[in-house]
Amino acid sequence: MSESKKIQVGDEIEAMCGACKDATVHVVEVIKDGKITKVMCKSCLNSHRYRKPVSAGEKKVVKKAGKKSTKKAPAKTKEQRKWSRVMAKVEGEEPQNYDMSGEYKENDVIDHSKFGVGVVSEVIDPTKMSVVFEEGQKTLVHNRDDA
């Protein structure tokens, strides 16, 4: 280990902070025999022993491991999350089979043969409506007697 930089008390350095659980900027408080022994975290203002910041390479591994552990639940897309939200709002409502000759209004729950269960988010015009499905928002026709 060779410390090439001359660090003095009061200097700002990057160090690991146990409270912040990250490498943060610290102010050097004590240097003993040319080695930093005590630092103060500028984020949480805790004084503690100096710990070298985790190198970028090590950090990546840590992040990857964290991702893996949270992968228990299937990753949801933005569309799925939105769909879950609107579905929660209409909970208990019986979905009606989608029929392009039917007339629908906002928050109606429909069952589409291809897209599945969705919720009407907006009636665009008398024959068009926007429906939120699990795979995303779709524009469907309704009120079409001639179909």
**By the rule CB under 5 A, 44 interacts with Zn ion:** yes
140 DSSP β-pair partners: 129
**By the rule CB under 5 A, 43 interacts with Zn ion:** yes
Q: By CB under 5 A, name the one of 17, 28, 39, 119 that touches Zn ion.
A: 17
Alpha-helical (H) ranges within 24-138 are 56-69, 78-89
Cα–Cα distance for residue pair 27/6, rounded to 1 Å: 14
Size of the site for Zn ion (CB under 5 A): 6
Shortest gap between Cβ of 53 and Zn ion (angstroms)? Answer: 12
Q: How far is CA 1 from the centre of its chain?
A: 39
Q: By CB under 5 A, name the one of 16, 39, 40, 41 that touches Zn ion.
A: 41
Helix (H, G, I), strand (E, B) or coil at 139: strand
Where along the sequence are the contacts to Zn ion (CB under 5 A)? 17, 19-20, 41, 43-44
